[in-house]
Amino acid sequence: MRIYTDHLILSGSTIKQALLQFNILSPDAILFVVNNKDKLIGALTDGDVRRGLLKGFSIDSFVDEIIQDNPRYIVKGENNLNKVIEYREGDFRIVPVVDENHRVVNVINFRKTRSYLPIDAVIMAGGRGQRLKPLTDVTPKPLLKIGDKAIMEHNLDRLVLFGIDDFWISVKYLGEQIENHFGKGEAKNINIDYVWENEPLGTIGAVSKIENFQHDYVLVTNSDLLTNIDYELFFLEFIKQDADLAILTIPYQVNVPYAVLETTNGTIKSFKEKPTYTYYSNGGIYLMKKEMLKHIPQDTFFNATDLMEKLISENLKVISFPFSGYWLDVGKHEDFEKAHIDIHNIKF
């Protein structure tokens, strides 16, 4: 994976230096000119270079003389998804991301990234994986391989595909292996911090230990899920409904092989012949406003279902996001075997 700094060139560099970088970047040949503090000054394409040379500039001229001095950009931490979609659909393939000081902190390539969601992601990876013994005796469940990648890497890469670049991974059992595998995220052009559970804290309790979230929205997911969810649609529905907490839900159908009678005081009012009922189960992926985290007690065993109950009891808006795509909780041996088959047939 290309690192975003490959698209940066220092103010005062020559056109010749820019051409050398273009040659490396092709077909993604666009540069963003920055000062010595990485503050964005302008953008430069090979078209700008051609026009500059036709105007009489030489390859030894400075890039500052031919740049576009009002480039498009995304501000990190802002809820700017409409702008992201506008750029993507307007065929602006590569866009810089700047911080509040206008310093470039990332570069989004829409040929390789589907969106840039203003979300922090927490992956819960501290469990023992008891049901997958003996596979988990020496390897933590999140690092068991499905196809050519670890279970959790499929999960993490799906989030990265939608432009999420700030991650926290909650670890406990064999957590050193997970930390060694993913490091600080440099190989994937993301930032990863680790949250260590000294004692088991449930399915969401460890989130209370995180104090430096970068965005106003936080996504929490189990590490052992295999899914092709569109995280942009999930986020847009969350925003549309102005929810406090959204839960990915999985439809589960129950087929009754007999007629079901509907009665009132013993009197049959109607009946349904062999009906099918659809229920929705918790899919282990949660999106919430950051301020909802104050409802998670510090250093206490606390499950995501506890948070749901607490928010509902306080009349906060908890919504379901029904999902009919591919979803598998790789928790048992039969699930693990199914995942090995599905990974070759599911479009991710």
**Side chain identity at 27, as an amino acid letter?**
P
Can you give the pLDDT at residue 43? 96
What does the mean pLDDT of the chain come to? 93
Distance from C-alpha of 11 to C-alpha of 35, rounded to nearest angstrom? 5
Is the per-residue pLDDT at 268 higher than 90? no
In this structure, the answer to whether residues 142 and 208 fall within a common structural domain is: yes
> Over the range 68-96, which residues count as b (16 or more CB within 10 Å of their CB) and which as e?
eeebebbebbeebbebbeebbeeeeebbb
- Res. 16 pLDDT band, cuts 50 70 90: very high
The pTM of the full predicted model, rounded to 2 decimals, is 0.89
Q: Do 219 and 178 reside in the same domain of the chain?
A: yes
Q: Please tell me whether residues 86 and 148 are part of one structural domain.
A: no
Number of domains in the chain: 2
270: confidence class by pLDDT, cuts 50, 70, 90: confident
181/69 same-domain check? no
31 with 162, same domain: the answer is: no
Q: Does 340 have pLDDT greater than 80?
A: yes
Per-residue pLDDT, 1: 59
Sign for the pseudo-dihedral over CA of 285, 288, 292, 293 = positive
Q: State the residue range of the domain holding 320.
A: 119-250+277-342
Same-domain check for residues 123 and 13 = no
Report CA 101 to chain centroid distance, whole Å: 24
According to the model, what pLDDT value does residue 262 have? 85
- What pLDDT digit, counting tens, does each position of 154-163 carry? 999 999 999 9
Cross-strand partners of 170? 124, 195
User: Furthest-apart CA pair in the chain: how many Å?
Assistant: 95
Residues 200 and 323 in one domain: yes
Percent of the chain past pLDDT 70, that is, above it, reads 99
pLDDT of 95: 95
CATH number, domain with residue 24: 3.10.580.10
Q: Which residue has the higher pLDDT, 1 or 20?
A: 20
CA torsion through residues 69, 74, 78, 83, sign: positive
In this prediction, residues 53-76 reach a mean pLDDT of 93
CA nearest to 16, candidates 85, 82, 47, 62: 62
